[in-house]
Structure 1
Amino acid sequence: MTLNLTGSNDDVEATDALARQGDDEDQMTRGSLAMAWYGVASAFFFVYIGAAMAAAYGTVNAIVGIVLTIICYGVINAVLSRYAINNRTTVAQFSRTILGTAGSSIATIIFALVAIYYAVFEGSIVAYAFMAAFGGEMWMWSLIVVIYSTPLIIGGARRFLDKLNGWLMPLYFFGLVAAVIWAGVVYGFGDAWLTHAPEVPLPFAQGGPGWLATFAGYMGVWIMMMFTMDYAALGKRKDVKFHQRFTFGPLFYVLAYGFSAFVGIFLTFTIPGLEVSETGIAGGMVSLMGILGLIVIIASQTRINTANYYLGAANLRAFGERVLRLRLPNIVWVLVSSVIIYLLMLLPIVQYLLLALAWQGVLVTAWVAIALTHVLLDQGRNQEHAAIGDKHYRAFNSNGLISWTIATVIGLVMLQLGSINPELAGVGSTWGPILTAVSAGVIYAVLWKTHPTSRTGLIKVVAQQ
C-alpha cells in the first residue's frame, strides 16, 4: 500500500520521489554501515556504567540486569532499524508522524543536545587521559581533542575514518583484553569482582531487586534507539535482515554492554583504590598500562565521538533549518556544534552524568515507547519518507504529544520522589523509566484507536492499493 498526497503538483512530485526511493545505489554498503555503527560500541561510558551498576547493586544483579538489557535492546532495535531502512526515515523525519512538525523540532533539539552532551563527556575522558599521561591543563587538552575530532566527520575525512574504524575496533577490543590481563597479573586474579555485593543497601536500591534497578538504569541510555534510526536510514533495503541480526541486533549489545561491563567490573574490583567513575577507570588504565592505555582510550573515544559529533551537528542543523529558518552549509553546523562542545567541556559536566542521564532518559524513553508502538500498530501500512515535505504534516499531532507529555510528567515526578522522601529514591529511579515507557505506549495505543485521523500526522491522505 502506498500513500498518494492530493492537492497540488508538489504532492505529485512527492509521490514520484517516493517511488524513486526503491533504488539502493546511494545507500551505504552493509560492511561500511556495520563498521560505522560498531564504532558506537567503543564508548568508555559503557565500561563505566557496568562497573557503577555492580558497585551499587552487586555483580550478580548487575549481570542479570545487563543480560535482560541486551535482549530488550536487540528486540526493539530490530523493529526500529527495519522501519528506518525500509522507509529511509531519520528521527527528525519520523517525529513528524508521531508529534507533528513543531513537536518533531522538540525531539530533534533534544537528540542534538544529548549527542552533544555525550561528545562532551567522551571527549573529556580523552582530555583527562592526556592530562594523566603528560600533565598540563584540561582546557588545553580539551581544545586539542575538539580540534582533531571535528575534521573526522567532514567529507573525505569521514570516508577515511569509515575504513580506519575497521582497524580501530580490534585495537579497542584487544586493548581492553590486555588491560584485564595486565591488571590480573599485577594485582592477582581473584574473585572479588564476581562476588561483590554492597555491604549496606543504598536508599535507591530499595525500589526493587538489584537486577531490575540495573535494567532501569540502562533505560537511561535508550538514546541508542534514536541513534539506531538515524544510522539505519543509511542502509540498503536488501540488507535489512543482516542489519537486524548483526548490525543493530543483540550481538552489538553483547559487545557494547556485556563485554564493556565485564572489563569495567573486573578493573574496578581488581585495581586497588580505583574510583568507580569514567575518569577514574580511564586514569587507572593510563596508570596501569602507560602509553598503551592512552592509545586504547584515544582509539575507543575517537570512534564513538565521530557518531556523537555527526549526530549532534546533523540534528542541530535540522532544528536550525526547521525552527530558525537558517539555511547554512553543513560545515557551519559542524563548527557551531564543535564550539558548543568545547565550551561545555570547560564545565564540570562529568560530575552531573547520572543526573543528566535520568532527566534525558525520561524524555527519550517516552519517545522510544511511542515510536515502537506506532511501528507495531501501523505494520508498515503508512509509509514515512524524507520525500514528503513538512508542509504536508500537521504542526502538532495530538496523539503523540499527549502521550509524550503525560509520560514525561510521570517520569519526572518519579525522579523527584527522592527529594520528597530519601527512602523513596529507589522507587523513583527503578520504576520511573519503566512507568514512563509503559504509560507512553499505552496512552498512544489508546489514542491510536480513538483518534485514527491523527495516526500519520499528514494533513490529508488518500490510500491507494
Structure 2
Amino acid sequence: MMSGRRTELSVSYTDDPRVVAEQRVEDYAQHAVPLTARVPRFKLLMANWSLLSAMVWLFYGALVSTLYGTRQAVIGLVLSVVVYSILNWFLTAWAIRTGLNPTLLSRRMFGTYGATLTALLIAASTTYYAVFESSVLAEAFHIHFGALDIRWWYLIVIVAVLPLMVGSIQTWMDRINGYLLPIYIVGIIAAVVVAAVQNDGGSDWASFAGVVPPQARPLPGWLMTFCVYMGIWLLMATSLEFSRMGRPQDLRFHQHVTFGWVYYGWMFLLNGLAGIYLVRTVLPSDPTAEVGVVQAIVQTLGLWGVLLTVVTQTRVNTLNYYLSSINWGRLAARLFGLRLPRAVWVVAVAAVAYLLMLTDVFSSLQKVLAWQGVFLVSWIGIVFTHFVLTPADRRNGPEFRPGRLRAVTPGLGVWVVASAVGIALTQSPQQFPRLSPLAPVVALAVSVLLYAVVLKLAPSSLLRREGDLSDEVDDPWAARLACHVCDRSYTAVEMDRDPAADGAPICAACGEVDTAFIQAVRTESASGAAIPAAES
C-alpha cells in the first residue's frame, strides 16, 4: 500500500532523447506511441503497403478460382474488400486516436495476461507467412536455376534477406518498399501481358467454372470464397499495428487509402485477378499446383520472373519479420520479463523460419489458415463489439495500464469458447457439411453474442484504484513523466502511480513486470469491491 507520502510529479514537455533513440528501432512496442513519434502519411503508406506484393494474394486468387470458378471467386473477392474496408475504417481511427498496438488495445477485453494470446497469435501467424513467402522465393530460384538442393536455396534466401529485415516504420521500411513498389507493378503487368502474347490471348480464365462441381459445394462458391478470406483477418490486426503510428490529421487518408478500400481493392481484387489469369493461362492442365503462381511467373518471364519474385518477397518479408519479431518480443517481455533488442528477435525468427521451411509448408497452408482464421475472427469480433458497446473507450481509448486491469477476464473465456466452436466445425466437415465451411462466420457470431452478454453482466476488468495520474497533468499526451524503474520519460497517458514507491510514476512496460508494483496494486485494489459492469 502507498504510504502517506506522495511523490511530487516532475513534468516535462519534450521527448526524452534516450527514448527517441531507443524507440527508432523498437517502434514503441511496449508503449503508447506519442504524437511526436507519429510518421508522415506517405512513410506509413509505403511501410504498410509492403504487404501488397505478397505472392500469397495471387495464390489465394488462383486457389479460390480453381475451386469455385472465376465468377464466383470474383464476387467473393469484392465482398471481402467491402467488409475489410468497413471494419478497418473504425479500427484504424481507434488505433490512431490511442496510439496502441493490438496487444495493448485488447488488454481491456482479455486482461494483462490474457492479451498475451494476441501477441502470440500475431507472432505465430506472421512467422508462418515469413516461412511461406521465403519458400516461394526459394522455389523460384530452384525452378529457374536448379543445381542445388532446395534446402540450400532455403538457407540462401534466409541469410541473404536477413540484413534487410531489421528496419522499423520510423527508419527505412518505407524507403525500401517505396523503391521496390514500381518494380512490382511493372513486373506483374509484364507477366500478364507476356502470358497473353505467348498464348495468343487464348485463355478460359474468365469463364472457368472450377474443379468442384456446383452440386458438390455445400454453399455457394462466392460465400466459400469469402470464408476463405476470413481466414486472413490477421490483416486487421496488422492494420492496427501500423495505424497506431499515424498522425491524427492524416486519418481520412489512411481510412481510404493506406488501410481502406484502395489498399484491399489492390491487394485482394487486382492481385487475385492477376493470379487467376496467370495460372489459368500458363498452367491450365495443372491449375491446383501449390507453387503454380511462381511457376507461371518464372515460365513467363524467365530470369526477370525470378528477379520479380525477389522484389515481391523482399517487400512483404520486411512486414512479416517486423510483426513477428516485435510480437515475440512483447510475449517474452510479458511472460518472462525478458527484454531484448528487436534485431535479436529478427535473427531468432529467421532461424525458426528456416527450420519450418524444411517441412512441407505449402501442403499445410489450408489447415493453418483455417485454425488461425478462427482465432483471429473471434478476436476481431470481441474487439469490435467492445468498440461498439463501450462509448467511453471508443472516445478515449481503452484502459491498458497493467496496474489498472485484472490479469485475466471473462472476455478471454469468450475468445477461447468461440475459437473452439469454430475449430470443431472446421475439423468436422462430414458431421456438419454446411456449417463446417462457415466455421469463421459461426465463430464470429458466437464471439459477438457471448462478449456482449459478458460486457453487460460480468464484473468489469478494471481494478478499483485511488485517483489517476493522467488526471493530474494538463495534457496527458503532451506531458512526459519519468518512470522511477527504467528512468525513462514517457507520455503521461501510459503512466501510473506505484503504490510500492510512494506513488512514484511507473511506465506501462515496467509496470507489467515489476513484481513489487504488481503486488502493491493487488493489495490496494483488494480493499475495494469489484467494479460492476454498469460502471465500466
TM-score (norm 1): 0.89
Does residue 428 in structure 1 map to residue 436 in structure 2?
Answer: yes
Deviates more, 1:192-201 or 1:108-117: 192-201
Give distance in 2, aligned partners of 1:450 and 1:291.
62
User: Residue in 2 aligned with 1:446?
Assistant: 453
| Structure 1 residue identity aligned to 2:205 | W
TM-superposed deviation, 1:199: 5.5
Give distance in 2, aligned partners of 1:13 and 1:362.
47
Give distance in 1, aligned partners of 2:360 and 2:78.
32
User: Residue in 2 aligned with 1:32?
Assistant: 43
TM-superposed deviation, 1:360: 0.8
Aligned counterpart for 2:356 among listed residues 328, 344, 350 = 344
| 2:70–2:206 Cα contact (<8 Å) kept | yes
| 2:231–2:374 Cα contact (<8 Å) kept | yes
User: Residue in 1 aligned with 2:397?
Assistant: 383
| Structure 2 residue identity aligned to 1:125 | V
Secondary structure (helix, strand or coil) at the match of 1:323 reads helix
Secondary structure (helix, strand or coil) at the match of 2:115 reads helix
TM-superposed deviation, 1:153: 3.0
| Structure 2 residue identity aligned to 1:323 | L
TM-superposed deviation, 1:170: 1.7
In the TM superposition, 1:287-298 aligns within 5 A as 287-298=299-310
Give distance in 1, aligned partners of 2:5 and 2:252.
37
In the TM superposition, 1:269-308 aligns within 5 A as 269-272=280-283, 273-308=285-320
Give distance in 1, aligned partners of 2:217 and 2:272.
23
The count of corresponding residues between Structure 1 and Structure 2 is 448
Does residue 407 in structure 1 map to residue 407 in structure 2?
Answer: no
Give distance in 1, aligned partners of 2:296 and 2:325.
32
Give distance in 2, aligned partners of 1:228 and 1:325.
27
Question: Cα deviation per residue 1:241-282 (whole Å; 9 max; x = unaligned)?
Answer: 111111000110111000111111111211143443452210
| 1:56–1:202 Cα contact (<8 Å) kept | no
Does residue 180 in structure 1 map to residue 192 in structure 2?
Answer: yes
Does residue 238 in structure 1 map to residue 249 in structure 2?
Answer: yes
| 1:275–1:281 Cα contact (<8 Å) kept | no
In the TM superposition, 1:141-152 aligns within 5 A as 141-152=153-164
Change (3 A) 1:155 1:227: closer
Question: Cα deviation per residue 1:43-94 (whole Å; 9 max; x = unaligned)?
Answer: 1000011111111111111111110000000011111111011101101111
Change (3 A) 1:163 1:68: same
Give distance in 1, aligned partners of 2:428 and 2:8.
50
Question: Cα deviation per residue 1:77-130 (whole Å; 9 max; x = unaligned)?
Answer: 111111011101101111211111111112211110101000000000001101
User: Residue in 2 aligned with 1:124?
Assistant: 135
Aligned counterpart for 1:111 among listed residues 122, 133, 142 = 122
For structure 2, list consecutive stretches of 5 or more residues without a partner in the other structure: 15-30, 475-536
User: Residue in 1 aligned with 2:171?
Assistant: 159
| 1:85–1:237 Cα contact (<8 Å) kept | yes
Secondary structure (helix, strand or coil) at the match of 1:103 reads coil
Secondary structure (helix, strand or coil) at the match of 1:427 reads coil
| 2:378–2:418 Cα contact (<8 Å) kept | yes
Q: Which has the higher contact order (CA 8 A, sep 6+)?
A: 1
For structure 1, list consecutive stretches of 5 or more residues without a partner in the other structure: 1-6
Give distance in 1, aligned partners of 2:235 and 2:329.
20
Give distance in 2, aligned partners of 1:11 and 1:437.
47
| Structure 2 residue identity aligned to 1:284 | A
User: RMSD of the TM alignment (CA)?
Assistant: 2.8
TM-superposed deviation, 1:384: 3.5
Secondary structure (helix, strand or coil) at the match of 1:349 reads coil
User: Residue in 2 aligned with 1:223?
Assistant: 234
In the TM superposition, 1:7-46 aligns within 5 A as 24-46=35-57
Question: Cα deviation per residue 1:353-409 (whole Å; 9 max; x = unaligned)?
Answer: 001100111111100111111112223245237xx54233211011x1132122112
TM-superposed deviation, 1:427: 3.3
TM-superposed deviation, 1:236: 1.3
Give distance in 1, aligned partners of 2:190 and 2:5.
63
| Structure 2 residue identity aligned to 1:446 | V
Change (3 A) 1:104 1:189: same
Secondary structure (helix, strand or coil) at the match of 1:194 reads coil
User: Residue in 2 aligned with 1:368?
Assistant: 380
| Structure 1 residue identity aligned to 2:441 | I
User: Residue in 1 aligned with 2:488?
Assistant: none
Give distance in 1, aligned partners of 2:463 and 2:46.
35
Question: Cα deviation per residue 1:25-46 (whole Å; 9 max; x = unaligned)?
Answer: 2111110000111111111000
Change (3 A) 1:461 1:369: farther
Secondary structure (helix, strand or coil) at the match of 1:60 reads helix
Identity %, equivalent residues: 33
Give distance in 1, aligned partners of 2:176 and 2:265.
22
Secondary structure (helix, strand or coil) at the match of 2:340 reads coil
Deviates more, 1:191-200 or 1:315-324: 191-200
Which structure has the bigger radius of gyration?
2
Secondary structure (helix, strand or coil) at the match of 1:198 reads coil
Give distance in 1, aligned partners of 2:256 and 2:272.
22
Does residue 333 in structure 1 map to residue 345 in structure 2?
Answer: yes
Give distance in 1, aligned partners of 2:211 and 2:145.
37
TM-score (norm 2): 0.78
User: Residue in 2 aligned with 1:267?
Assistant: 278
Secondary structure (helix, strand or coil) at the match of 1:35 reads helix
| 2:33–2:245 Cα contact (<8 Å) kept | no
Secondary structure (helix, strand or coil) at the match of 2:210 reads coil
Give distance in 2, aligned partners of 1:87 and 1:38.
22
TM-superposed deviation, 1:302: 0.7
More helix by share: 1
Give distance in 1, aligned partners of 2:5 and 2:261.
45
| 1:52–1:277 Cα contact (<8 Å) kept | no
Give distance in 1, aligned partners of 2:88 and 2:175.
25
Change (3 A) 1:461 1:86: farther
Give distance in 2, aligned partners of 1:333 and 1:33.
23
TM-superposed deviation, 1:23: 5.5
| 1:206–1:427 Cα contact (<8 Å) kept | no
Deviates more, 1:440-449 or 1:350-359: 440-449
User: Residue in 1 aligned with 2:201?
Assistant: 189
Runs of 4 or more consecutive aligned structure 1 residues displaced over 6 Å after TM superposition: 7-14, 461-465
User: Residue in 1 aligned with 2:183?
Assistant: 171
Change (3 A) 1:369 1:13: farther
User: Residue in 2 aligned with 1:249?
Assistant: 260
TM-superposed deviation, 1:425: 4.3
Change (3 A) 1:177 1:256: same
Change (3 A) 1:271 1:426: farther
Change (3 A) 1:459 1:214: farther
TM-superposed deviation, 1:339: 1.0
Does residue 353 in structure 1 map to residue 365 in structure 2?
Answer: yes
Aligned counterpart for 2:107 among listed residues 83, 96, 103 = 96
